[in-house]
Amino acid sequence: MLKAVIFDFDGVITDSEVLHLRAFNKSLAQFGVGLTTKDYYQNYLGFSDFDCYKMLITQGLLKIDEQQIGDIIRQKSVIFEELAKTEGRTIEGAYEFLKLLERNNIPMAICSGSLLVEIELMLDEAHLRHFFKAIVSAEQVKKGKPHPEGFLLALRKLNNDDPQPPVAANQCIVIEDSHWGLQAGKAAGMHTIAVTNSYDAEQLTMADKVVARLTDLSMDDLHQLCA
């Protein structure tokens, strides 16, 4: 039985992946490093900021100490916030789908590799904050996607509202746009839906269901996944 839906944020609720890429590249320019769109989507999109910079260091592309990552993340966050205020937008159909879940009294949460300030900013700008009972952001977990920690924490936060009985993992649906997120959702014991906002359907076949947009989903679809 469906009891909750947990969303990824970038690429599912907001069309912000390209803004993250631009912010990454602006923060990396001082070190003579840049990511192509293809490279970002193939290798980095599903990770938190920290894990992205750490991977660049491990690969020998970013020649700094790991202790400096925090400073670069702060720089990147400032850049991203400016871009989000002027260019951020909600993905078509997201609002309508959130309203559908709200009308059916389905609790909703966000589990994202973005920083909380970035998520809150874009939710407030789009007037979507009230839909979500819980938000899990990058700084709240020790291990980012594809590790399930974030989704399990989101479930614990939803259960802090004291539903009786508590929501179980197999009563949750995770909605993601990347294979990293889908792996995390499955590892958490949750059902998974992929939207093809960032990758083709052929790259998201591990999902229980793949759709082109959130408005392709009905309540019957959601309940069937959790049957």
- For the residues 197-207, what does the mean pLDDT come to? 95
Closest CA to 212 of 108, 110, 106, 93: 93
Mean model confidence pLDDT for the chain: 94
Q: Collapsing DSSP states into helix, strand and coil, what is residue 178?
A: coil
Residue ranges of alpha helices (H) inside 68-178 are 69-87, 94-103, 116-126, 149-159
Interval 105-144: pLDDT, tens = 999 999 999 999 999 999 998 999 999 999 999 999 999 9
The confidence score (pLDDT) of residue 187 equals 98
Q: Which domains does the chain have, with CATH numbers?
A: 4-15+89-225 (3.40.50.1000), 17-87 (1.10.150.240)
Per-residue confidence band for 65, with pLDDT thresholds at 50, 70 and 90: very high
The confidence score (pLDDT) of residue 85 equals 87
Predicted confidence (pLDDT) at residue 21 exceeds the cutoff of 80: yes
Least confident residue range of 39-43, 130-134, 175-179: 39-43
Per-residue confidence band for 72, with pLDDT thresholds at 50, 70 and 90: very high
pTM of structure: 0.86
Closest CA to 109 of 126, 123, 127, 121: 123
Predicted confidence (pLDDT) at residue 35 exceeds the cutoff of 90: yes
Cβ neighbour number for residue 92 with a 10 Å cutoff: 12
